[in-house]
Every structure is written in structure tokens, then in C-alpha cells.
Structure 1
Amino acid sequence: MNYDGDIIRPPSEANSIIIQVTVGCSHNTCTFCGAYKGKNKTFRIRSDEEITENIAFASQYCLRQKRVFLADGDVLILSQKRLLTLFKKIKESLPQVKRIALYGNAKAIRSKSVQELKELKERGLHRIYMGLESGDNDVLASVKKGETADSMIEAGRRVKEAGIFLSVTVLLGLGGRAGSVKHAQESARVLNHMQPKQIAALCLMPLSNTELGESYKNGTFKLPDAKEMLIELRTLIQHIECDPVQFMANHASNYLPLSGRLGRDKAAMLESIKQALAGNKPIVQEHYRAL
């Protein structure tokens, strides 16, 4: 498979065929994200020839895999005509593939009408991973997300109305120590409007190649400690009113791995956090945490 630079994909797509359609992220100004900051990640849409080459490779060597993940950051930025052609090519060349998934930033999602998203669903688009990060407008502005709570609610609404599985990510700690509780409460509020099928909560780990990482290094950004992260996670779960929804806080960055369905498992999750805060349940040590 021919890739341009490193490939970023969700943990749940580990066994998928990964076809790189775009290189990098068209926005790429978020202060916390270092995924596409490398010299080789100037945003571009790959040529039809490059994409076709990778599909052809997959048709020879990836016959057992039944899922495709389209990388990098925002494949939905492609025109509808080109996306439909791409999906048709995948179906023809990889007939065993049953599901297609991709990252979708809110702006790219809003560039499509509900009807256009439905067309993509009919051609195999099963899941969209969207980074909410925070539902707090002050946090969104400070990290240069280029979105507001309302604009992301609208993006989520379109995905849901189109009948596509919506997975949304929240970044614990992004509001800093002072804004921790508000960040959690507002994120839950936005999630309640979106009603996604899946929520993933990760912990912020400041990266040296990012603006936020520099702020953390020089002390102007105060990152919540382990206890404060757990309190933030507790606040988030307490305020989420999505039922049913798969909730995961089991990424390598998390201090307390949690996974289950809300609201069925809400009480058990909150009890686990309570025990961890009381010191009766071990948390992940710093040297084991990673992105």
C-alpha cells in the first residue's frame, strides 16, 4: 500500500483496509493536534491514480478484510461526484467490503446535505468519526477549532438524520484546570443534542510540536492532574443523557479504563470513578499512558 506520510486511524479500525484519499487535514490549526503538523502533511487530495493504485493493491492482498477506512483527516471535503465514484470503485474492486468509515470534521460534514449523506450511506458509508473535543465555546475558540457548539450540533444532526453511525470524541483536560467542570458539562450538553451512537473520551496529552504543548511547557496552560481528570470524566458521564450509547474511556491516554453502554452502565462507571478517587481502585501510571 502506498501512503504519503504517517497514517492516523481510530483504534476500532485496526483491522480495516486503510485507503489514503487525502493527505493531512484541511483545517490543521487546532492548537492541541500534532497529527498533521509534519513537513510531509501539507494538505492535498490524492490523485485518482494514487487512490486507484491502492485499491488495486487491496484487491489483491486484502481479500479477508471486510471494512475500509478512508484516511486522512477530512475525506468528505471531496465533491459528491468524486466520492460516489470512489465508493463505486471500492464496491467493484473489493466486493467483500461491507462497511466504509472515515473521519469527518464538522465543516466537511456540513458541506454535504442530508440527502448527499444518505447517498453515501446507500453506497457503503457506515460510520463517521467526528472530533467534538469540547462543547464549550470558550474552549473551542481558544484551541482554534474553527467551530462553535451549535455548528457541531448541526453537523451531528445531519449525520444522524442520514442514518449513519456517528462516533464522537471528547478530549478531557482541554479546558485546563480552571475550565475543567464547564468543559465537561458543555460537552455533555452538546452530546445530548447530537445523540451519537458512540462517545470516546480521551485525555489530553500536550505534544511538543503544538501551540498548546508550548503553552503547557511555559506554564500558561495548566493541565488537570489525574484526580482532576477523573472528576472531569465523572462530570461528563453524570450529564450525558444519551441512551443507548456506547461510551469508551479506554484509550491509552486514560487514567481509568472504562467501557460500556449508557445509561445501562452509568452507575457502575460512576462507582468505578468513585473508588479510584478514594484510592481503592488503581489508575494507570503516567509512564504507561500514551497516544
Structure 2
Amino acid sequence: MHYQGTVYRPPSEANSILLQVTTGCSHNKCTFCGMYKGQRFSITPDEIVYADIDYAARHFPHARRLFLCDGDALILPQNRLRTILVRIREKLPHLDRVGIYANCKSLKAKTIEELEELRRLGLKIAYMGLESGDDHTLTAINKGATAADMIAMAGKAKAAGIKLSVTVLLGIAGPDRSPVHAEETGRVLSAIDPEYVGALSLMIEPQTKLHADVLAGDFVVPGPLAILGELRAMIAATNLSNGLFHANHASNYLPVRAKLPEEKAATLDLIDQALVGNLSLRPEFLRAL
């Protein structure tokens, strides 16, 4: 199959067919993100996409999942996405779902009816980077959307029947604003009520604006216990009707997987045990993005 540049996908799509229908990210301005740097956003030509679907059908005919890469595939015009999904359904009939990255810009460009059509054609899950529910932090990291925007656009996806996996970033507000970041992120997660939440811990990537801020002394990365305390406060402020809160990514100091609301109290107790030193944290050299 054809791939251009570095291909990124969510951890939960590790065993999925990766079909690159766009290259890069149309926003590509977040201060913390090192993905797609030096890479212009572009749309993969139809003939390449169709050839890759045919290749996947020959080599992975019984695959259950497929992920549409890159970081902004939902921004494709509706007609183009429709045609791609129809061809995927015809060639790979055993798929249970197709996944995609989504952001406020791409969701705003689609009506609920268009999103419903995509869901009927197999698009079952969208991965959305919230990062923070704190507007001050969202502005600082140049996310390009407010917390209210995030809630509204996530609501469109849910109204269309598309499951949501929302990513948040521990430590991104710095030490001083950490309590507000945790509380507001919990509030926004509760308002969105996604099926899945994935919490990652901040790791500074070279060649990013945030890296330059750290070197200049304009941003301080919170330490492990501060990050853990932030995670505790965020989970305490998050009320999901029936969701999974994951903080078991390789960047995190303490693996956490909690079904909310049932396991909320037990998860807070687990974090408390780590905060007082009764549980070992992942050492720095084992952390990774």
C-alpha cells in the first residue's frame, strides 16, 4: 500500500488496515504537536486510494477494522468520502468499522445528515483531540477551537450515531494552571459524554513551539506526581454515563483503565496509593509517544 510521510494512528487501531486518504493535517498549528511538521496537507489521488483498497482486499480480506489516515481525513468533501466508503464496503465486506480522526473544523463542515450517511456506510468511530477543556489553555496551545466549540461539534458526531474517542493531555497547562485545566477538562468531558477517553501525559517534542518555550523558560513541564495529581482531579471531575477512561498510554506514569461511573471511586483510590508512594510509577526512560 502507498504511504507518504510518517503515518500516525490511534493506539486502538494497531491491528487495523491503514488507508491514507489525506496527508498531514490542515490545521497543523498546535504548539505541542510534532506530527506532520514540514509536511503540507494534501488529498491522496483517487486512483491511489482505490488501488490500496484493492490491495487490502487481496491481502487482508477478513480484516475487521480500517482506519482512514492522516490527521484530517474527515475534511474530505462528502462526495469523495462517500465514494471511498462505498468502495471499502464492497471490497472489504467483513469490516466491523471504519475509524477516522476528527476535529472541530472538519465536523463543522459536515451536517448531521452527512455524518449519519457516513455512519451508515461504515464510519463508526471518530477520534477527537480535546487536549483541554480550559479556554485559556486551548488558546495558549493554538488549538483553534474553544471548549464550547468542542462540545458542540462532538455533539454533532454523537447525534449522528458515531462513537467518540476523546484525547486529553495531562500537563499541557503547566503547573500553575493545572487545577483549572483538570476541572474544566472534566466538565467538558462530562458534557460530551464520549464512549472513550484517552489521557496522555505531555512529552516535549523537538522542533515544536512548546519545545522552544521550554528552552526559553516560558513553560515548565509538571513533574510525575503533579501529572498524577492532575489525572486524579480530572477523573474526579469527569462524569460519564457509560464510558471508558484510559490513561494506559506509554506516556503515562501510572497505567489506568476505568469504566465510569462504576470504577471511579476505585480508580481514585488507586491513584491515591501511587501519590503516597505505595505504587511504582513508570520510569522516565520507559515513557514514549
Identical aligned pairs, as a percentage? 47
| Matched letter for residue 162 of structure 2 | I
RMSD of Structure 2 on Structure 1 (CA): 0.8
Aligned counterparts, 1:1-291, within 5 A: 1-37=1-37, 39=38, 41-291=39-289
Q: Distance in 2 between matches of 1:224 and 1:90?
A: 44
Contact 1:110 1:154 in 2 (8 A): no
Q: Distance in 2 between matches of 1:193 and 1:267?
A: 20
Q: Distance in 1 between matches of 2:108 and 2:222?
A: 33
CA-CA distance at 1:6 after TM superposition = 1.0
Q: Deviation string for 1:106-143 (max 9, x for gaps)? A: 11011111111111111101100000001110001111
SS, match of residue 251 in structure 1:
coil
Q: Distance in 1 between matches of 2:24 and 2:95?
A: 25
Q: Deviation string for 1:60-113 (max 9, x for gaps)? A: 111231111000011111111111111101011112212100001111011111
CA-CA distance at 1:50 after TM superposition = 1.3
Q: Which runs of 5 or more structure 2 residues have no equivalent in the other structure? A: none
Q: Distance in 2 between matches of 1:284 and 1:140?
A: 28
Q: Which runs of 5 or more structure 1 residues have no equivalent in the other structure? A: none
Q: Deviation string for 1:24-71 (max 9, x for gaps)? A: 00000000000111x3x2100111011112111101111231111000
CA-CA distance at 1:243 after TM superposition = 2.1
Q: Distance in 2 between matches of 1:198 and 1:110?
A: 21
Q: Deviation string for 1:247-290 (max 9, x for gaps)? A: 10000000000002011111111111101110011110111101
Q: Distance in 2 between matches of 1:212 and 1:134?
A: 16
Higher mean displacement: 210-219 or 228-237: 210-219
Figure out how many residues of one structure are paired with residues of the other and give that number.
Answer: 289
Q: Distance in 2 between matches of 1:267 and 1:168?
A: 21
